[in-house]
């Protein structure tokens, strides 16, 4: 049973999913070392019976290459959508769709070492699942994310992504879309398109640029070494990317992940694909990817104030990333 409750002070939704405390964990607990334990891995080929049946498989001559199934321990599940009757608080029964995309049959594959061709196929599968989950009438917003490593929230080391469709607009998205709208009303332009222009002129935070994409460290990032990958064309959803752009993105993403892994070996990181919501006004949003190396964690001040203390200036992080891989 899961439930979404809205915090009356912050307006933020919280998902309560008591079933998730039973999910398997195959990193060494409490060791502080990002080492993997040799438990039986439910995401490896021949262990498919340990997970729900596939809802999609991309196959090659050796079997599946990418496998998608419903999360066995969903944060939200497909129960009837039901608003709670409490008159003071707002809540929903936890309707949602939560899928797992196993990126590869290879247990130890590091996503940054996957071939560009494989990453391209993975991006295509992600795009397909995103659209599939969003096509459900009850789903308002879909978050695709990867938790890579135990400090990024991963419980299983075998490389995978997750697709989580929720029935309400989350507060982070609501706030971001409002900013896009306000800026467009005021200027007639897209704030992200203008940000790209500004960053290119300023040069200080740009990591790399190719024909289709630009990466930079955001001006006021909460997390040290946060990086964004943004299409130069005003594209509001992943599915608006052309095939050429998706192919380019595969290589660009791989390059950026290699730079992140140069911070230190085995670093945990999240990849978050920032999409528009179903109800977002047409043409308003500018699609992008956030890459979040996990260095440090929220402390008391951050929890209390949501004002983050970041010890690494984005200008330094960009310089580090530019120097991390020569001439790539």
Residue 215 contacts residue 271 (beta carbons within 8 Å): no
Q: Which residues pair with 231 in a beta bridge?
A: 213
Spatial separation of the C-alpha atoms in residues 236 and 227, rounded to whole Å: 19
Q: What is the DSSP secondary-structure string of 183-220?
A: HHHHHSS-HHHHHHHHHHHH-TTEEEE-SSEEEE--TT
**Considering only residues 192, 206, 267, 271, which one is a binding residue for Zn ion as defined by CB under 5 A?**
192
| Short-list 205, 188, 184, CA closest to 196 | 205
Task: Give the residue with the Cβ less far from Zn ion, 6 or 184.
Answer: 184
Footprint (CB under 5 A) of Zn ion, residues 101-130: 107
For 3, the 3-state DSSP assignment is strand
Confirm or reject binding of residue 41 to Zn ion (CB under 5 A).
Answer: yes
Q: Which residue do the tokens 């993975």 mark?
A: 122
Distance CA 77, CA 99 (A): 10
Contact set for Zn ion, span 146-165 (CB under 5 A):
158
**Which CB atom, from 4 or from 66, has the smaller least distance to Zn ion?**
66
Judged by CB under 5 A, the stretch of 12-20, 123-131, 200-208, 279-287 that binds Zn ion is 279-287
Question: Is residue 132 part of the contact set for Zn ion (CB under 5 A)?
Answer: no
Stretch that binds Zn ion, among 41-49, 130-138, 143-151, 274-282 (CB under 5 A): 41-49
Determine the size of the site formed for Zn ion (CB under 5 A).
Answer: 10
Dist. CA 125–CA 160, nearest whole Å: 12
Among 5, 204, 234, 278, binds Zn ion (CB under 5 A): 234
Are 103 and 111 a contacting pair, CB within 8 Å?
Answer: yes
Pick from 5, 19, 20, 44 the residue near Zn ion by CB under 5 A: 44
Our CB check for Zn ion shows the closer of 45 and 251 to be: 45
Using CB under 5 A as the criterion, which residues of the chain lie in contact with Zn ion when the complex forms? 41, 43-44, 107, 158, 190, 192-193, 234, 286
């Amino acid at each position: 049973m899961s439930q979404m409750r809205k915090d009356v002070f912050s307006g933020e939704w919280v998902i309560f999913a008591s079933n998730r405390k039973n999910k398997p964990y195959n990193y060494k607990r409490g060791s502080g070392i990002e080492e993997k334990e040799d438990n039986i891995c439910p995401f490896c080929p021949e262990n498919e019976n340990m997970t729900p049946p596939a809802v999609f498989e991309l196959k090659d001559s050796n079997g599946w290459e990418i496998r998608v199934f419903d999360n066995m321990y969903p944060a939200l599940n497909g129960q009837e959508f039901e608003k709670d009757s409490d008159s003071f608080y707002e809540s929903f029964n936890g309707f949602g769709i939560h899928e797992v995309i196993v990126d590869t049959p290879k247990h130890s594959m590091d996503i940054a070492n996957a071939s560009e061709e494989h990453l391209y196929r993975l991006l295509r599968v992600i795009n397909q699942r995103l659209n599939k989950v969003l096509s459900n009438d009850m789903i308002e917003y879909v978050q695709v994310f990867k938790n890579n490593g135990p400090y990024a929230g991963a419980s299983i080391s075998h490389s995978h992504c997750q697709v989580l469709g929720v029935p309400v607009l989350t507060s982070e998205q609501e706030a971001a879309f409002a900013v896009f709208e306000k800026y467009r009303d005021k200027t007639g332009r897209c704030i992200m398109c203008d940000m790209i222009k500004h960053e290119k002129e300023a040069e200080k935070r740009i990591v790399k640029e190719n024909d289709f994409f630009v990466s930079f460290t955001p001006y006021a990032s909460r997390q040290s070494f946060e990086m964004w990958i943004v299409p130069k064309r005003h594209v509001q959803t992943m599915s608006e990317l052309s095939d050429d752009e998706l192919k380019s993105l595969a290589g660009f993403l791989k390059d950026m992940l290699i730079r992140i892994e140069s911070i230190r070996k085995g670093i945990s990181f999240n990849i978050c694909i920032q999409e528009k919501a179903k109800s977002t006004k047409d043409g308003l949003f500018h699609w992008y990817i956030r890459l979040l190396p996990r260095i440090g964690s929220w402390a008391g001040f951050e929890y209390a104030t949501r004002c983050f203390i970041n010890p690494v200036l984005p200008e330094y992080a960009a310089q580090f990333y530019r120097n991390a891989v020569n001439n790539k």
